[in-house]
Amino acid sequence: MDVPDQLLYTDSDEWVRIEGGASGDAGDEVVIGITDYAQDQLGDIVFVELPPVGRALTAGVAFGVVESIKAVSDLNAPVTGEVLEVNESLADAPEQVNADPYGAGWFLRVRLGVPLDRSALLTAEAYRAFRLDGGS
Amino acid sequence: MSDPPATASLHRLPLHDRHVALGARMAPFAGWEMPLQYESVLDEHHAVRDGAGMFDVSHMGRVTLDGPAAAAALRGVTTFDVTTIAPGEAHYSLFCNAEGGIDDDVFVYRIENARWLVVVNAANAEAGSARLRTAYPAARDVTTATVMLAVQGPRAIELLSGVLGDSLAEVAPRHCLAFAWRGVEVLLARTGYTGEDGMECILPAEAGGALWDALVGAGVRPAGLAARDTLRLEAALPLHGHDIDAATSPYEAGLGFAVSLDDTAPFTGRAALEAAHATPPARRLACIRILERAVPRAEMEVLDASGTAVTALTSGTFSPTLRAGIGMAYLPAPLASPGTPLHVRVRDRLVPAEVVRRPFYRRPRARATEA
């Protein structure tokens, strides 16, 4: 189970990367996706439904869906902000999420509307412990 | 280290430990603990389409009927006139109820003149077994005494021949034979549920592991129930309990070829089927392809071009071979023709779709050699 140290995580298996060495203040940009654990649980991903550019996200609220042959899973927003960019390549090649969940399999670039609430997110160490522990 | 015992109500396959050792994700199905997938549903699906995959379908019910009176007894409980099946042949058939609805779809194998095997769906195995034993008390349920492996794909015959030590290429489609292998009898049938060439192999449970191991060693890929579903739906093969059931008519489902009305022998549901056959069905099971990327699933609403809801999907999935959403539904006859525009409600979105000819996928014919 791959859990990069520099990212932040949710207990619903999304990850957040703060861009450009910023600190997560309002106006900073983040990239979000789903974790290696999530893609493994889902199996072969065949469809990802993402919001359009300009959509507002609210932390904790579902913003899209990821589907495998047998399962449909909601995507929960890890942050509050506005969608700046969507990974359009996932429309034709959703399998990138399985192959490279932290790289080519990214979902959205988001401009934070409020500072990151770190109390609502997990560090890599905490997420690792959560998942290895079989947390649900 | 062995796994914990199965929950009280679930049967375990004879080859359970092998599936677990291969990393299979196990799930309950029809009262059995079944391998859903090993590593990747898509890989398993493509292995069957491009090479050879293998399904452990030992959960399906298997009943043998031996003796000269078996043919007539069997004819009386199934829709196809099995007395017309020659020794060494097999045919698809149905168990209908008195109203002409489909209690199960089955395959009937005539191994020798007076030696029959009927394979029924696992979900209906108890009822099917009882039906056969009522019609023919000498019938024997061999389900738990045997293993059944479906080896499917363009390389299935080649790899199976290599393992069994004899060329099976001469066994014609929908033909069957009893084959001696390592001191046991293997029933082989050139049948399947994937739309590919291949064989189903039935042998004593204690020898099943040896055959499984030999086939895996020869390069046949283990494949689970998830891939089995995407394959059969691409081939537009109905799944009982979803696309056909006790309330659907064979004629609505396009299964009239499994019903024989030419002879005069009585069989369960005959009167109702004769009446149904006399009138064109008001609705027909149609193949529907989704025209935008979306995954259709059973029970999603189907709407006509004007946005009126007409029915719900009976099956749906994402087709790995076509890379498109596919499904089936009973459409009113006027809408059931290929090209009819439709919509499917996928969550909160109306996605455009259309009726297409069945099947969604047909295996490419071998090219004729150039003169």
The helix (H) or strand (E) run that includes residue B265 is none
pTM over 0.95: no
How far lies A88's CA from each of A17, A73, A93, B269, in Å? 19, 19, 9, 54
Flag if A68 and B41 touch (Cβ within 8 Å).
Answer: yes
A43, A65, A72 ranked by CB distance to B41: nearest:
A43
**Spatial CB neighbours of A44, under 8 Å, sequence gap ≥ 6:** A68, A69, A95, A98, B40, B41, B42, B43
**Spatial CB neighbours of B240, under 8 Å, sequence gap ≥ 6:** B102, B104, B105, B121, B123, B124
Residue to substitute from B26, B37, B234, interface A, most A β-carbons within 10 A: B37
Where are the extended beta strands (E) located within B140-269? Answer: 140-141, 146-152, 176-181, 184-189, 198-204, 221-222
B36 to chain A, any CB pair closer than 8 A? The answer is yes
A43, A47, A91 ranked by CB distance to B295: nearest:
A47
What pLDDT is recorded for position B7? 56
Of all residues in chain A, the one with the smallest CA distance to B37 is: A43
**Spatial CB neighbours of B324, under 8 Å, sequence gap ≥ 6:** B289, B290, B291, B293, B318
Of all residues in chain A, the one with the smallest CA distance to B323 is: A46
The helix (H) or strand (E) run that includes residue B347 is none
Closest to B139 measured CA to CA, from B113, B109, B115: B115
Buried/exposed B331-368: b ≥16 CB within 10 Å, e otherwise? beeebbeeebebbbbbeeeebebbbbebbbbeeeeeee
B24 to chain A, any CB pair closer than 8 A? The answer is no
Tell me if residue B156 falls in helix, strand or coil: helix
What pLDDT is recorded for position B8? 62
Cα A89 from chain centroid?
Answer: 16
CA A119/CA A121 separation, integer angstroms: 6
ipTM for the predicted complex = 0.87
What pLDDT is recorded for position B187? 97
Flag if A44 and B40 touch (Cβ within 8 Å).
Answer: yes
Of all residues in chain A, the one with the smallest CA distance to B317 is: A69
B347 to chain A, any CB pair closer than 8 A? The answer is yes
What pLDDT is recorded for position B4? 58
**Do B320 and B45 contact (CB within 8 A), yes or no?**
yes
What CA dihedral angle connects A116, A120, A126 and A129, to 10 degrees?
A: -140
**Do B2 and B18 contact (CB within 8 A), yes or no?**
no
- Number of A–B residue contacts, CB under 8 Å: 37
B38 to chain A, any CB pair closer than 8 A? The answer is no
At residue B259, what is the residue type? V
Cα B292 from chain centroid?
Answer: 28
Q: Tell me the chain A residues in contact with residue B226 when contact means C-beta distances shorter than 8 Å.
A: 43, 69-70
Q: Tell me the chain A residues in contact with residue B293 when contact means C-beta distances shorter than 8 Å.
A: 47, 91-92
A47 to chain B, any CB pair closer than 8 A? The answer is yes
Token pair listed for B231: 């394959």
Residue to substitute from B46, B346, B348, interface A, most A β-carbons within 10 A: B346
Token pair listed for B333: 């006859």
A72 to chain B, any CB pair closer than 8 A? The answer is yes
CA A29/CA A85 separation, integer angstroms: 10
Token pair listed for B97: 């109820």
Of all residues in chain B, the one with the smallest CA distance to A47 is: B294
What pLDDT is recorded for position B161? 96
Of all residues in chain B, the one with the smallest CA distance to A48 is: B294
pLDDT(A134) > 70: no
CA B13/CA B33 separation, integer angstroms: 7
Flag if B318 and A46 touch (Cβ within 8 Å).
Answer: yes
What pLDDT is recorded for position B367? 46
How far lies A18's CA from each of A10, A15, A122, B3, in Å? 14, 10, 14, 43
What pLDDT is recorded for position A9? 97
Convert the pLDDT of each residue in A22-81 to its tens digit: 999 999 999 999 999 999 999 999 999 999 999 999 999 999 999 999 899 999 999 999
Closest to B190 measured CA to CA, from B234, B230, B156: B156
Convert the pLDDT of each residue in B166-199 to its tens digit: 889 989 999 999 999 999 999 999 999 999 999 9
Q: What is the pLDDT along chain B (371 residues), one digit of tens a residue?
A: 455 555 568 999 999 999 999 999 999 999 999 999 998 999 999 999 999 999 999 999 999 999 999 999 999 999 999 999 999 999 999 999 999 999 999 999 999 999 999 999 999 999 999 999 999 999 999 999 999 999 999 999 999 999 998 889 989 999 999 999 999 999 999 999 999 999 999 999 999 999 999 999 999 999 999 999 999 999 999 999 999 999 999 999 999 999 999 999 999 999 999 999 999 999 999 999 999 989 999 999 999 999 999 999 999 999 999 999 999 999 999 999 999 999 999 998 999 999 999 999 998 876 444 34
pLDDT(A133) > 90: no
- B298: closest CA of chain A, how far (Å): 12
Flag if A72 and B295 touch (Cβ within 8 Å).
Answer: yes
B299 to chain A, any CB pair closer than 8 A? The answer is no
Closest to A79 measured CA to CA, from A48, A125, A33: A33
How far lies B360's CA from each of A47, A72, A116, B192, B324, in Å? 20, 23, 48, 17, 10
What CA dihedral angle connects B28, B32, B36 and B39, to 10 degrees?
A: 110
Of all residues in chain B, the one with the smallest CA distance to A93 is: B323
For B171, which DSSP code? S
Largest CA distance in chain A: 39
B230 to chain A, any CB pair closer than 8 A? The answer is yes
B300 to chain A, any CB pair closer than 8 A? The answer is no
